[in-house]
Amino acid sequence: MASKLRNMFYENEGNWIQLGLTRFCWNTLNLDEFCEAICFKLKNVYALYEQIKDMESCIDFELGTMVGYKLFPVGRPLEKGAKPPPCSKFFQKMIEVRKKNFSKVLKLLSRMTPMINKLEAIVLHTSGGYSPYMALFYKECEEKIFDVFVK
């Protein structure tokens, strides 16, 4: 039994370890090239991270500016002794303000859509518009947009 193991070891030794023919040193292992490749990949990952962070901050900024538009203004409280405006004027003014604010919101949404698509393309290399991996991000954006419409 021991001789079989010894013979198997010698066979493997001949295949894998060739005494006197190979020398391992730092130069033969190509560690410099390996480190350069790793540094290059780390720079790419960092640049990708910075680009994603920039896109996300742009999207958050757009969503933050969208919150300032009130699509359903209630109006100001009346002073004592003041008469309320007629209903027709009140609703006409409300419709005008709502149209103006809604057109601004639509412009913001039209600017945000390419950013969200680009973010999906950067992260997942897809451009479907709805990815299950980005579902939480989409849901968060939709909730913020919904808050703009409701509040």
User: Lowest-confidence range among 43-57, 69-83, 113-127, 128-142?
Assistant: 69-83
Residue 151 per-residue DSSP state: -
Distance, in Å, from the CA atom of 119 to the CA atom of 109, rounded to the nearest integer, reads 15
Q: What is the pLDDT of residue 43?
A: 92
Q: Among 19-28, 109-118, 126-135, whose mean pLDDT is lowest?
A: 19-28
Asked whether the beta carbons of 66 and 108 are under 8 A apart, the reply is yes
DSSP 72: S
Q: In this predicted model, what pLDDT tens digit does every residue of 97-111 receive, in sequence order?
A: 888 888 888 888 888
Task: Parse the chain into domains and list their residue ranges.
Answer: 24-69+86-150
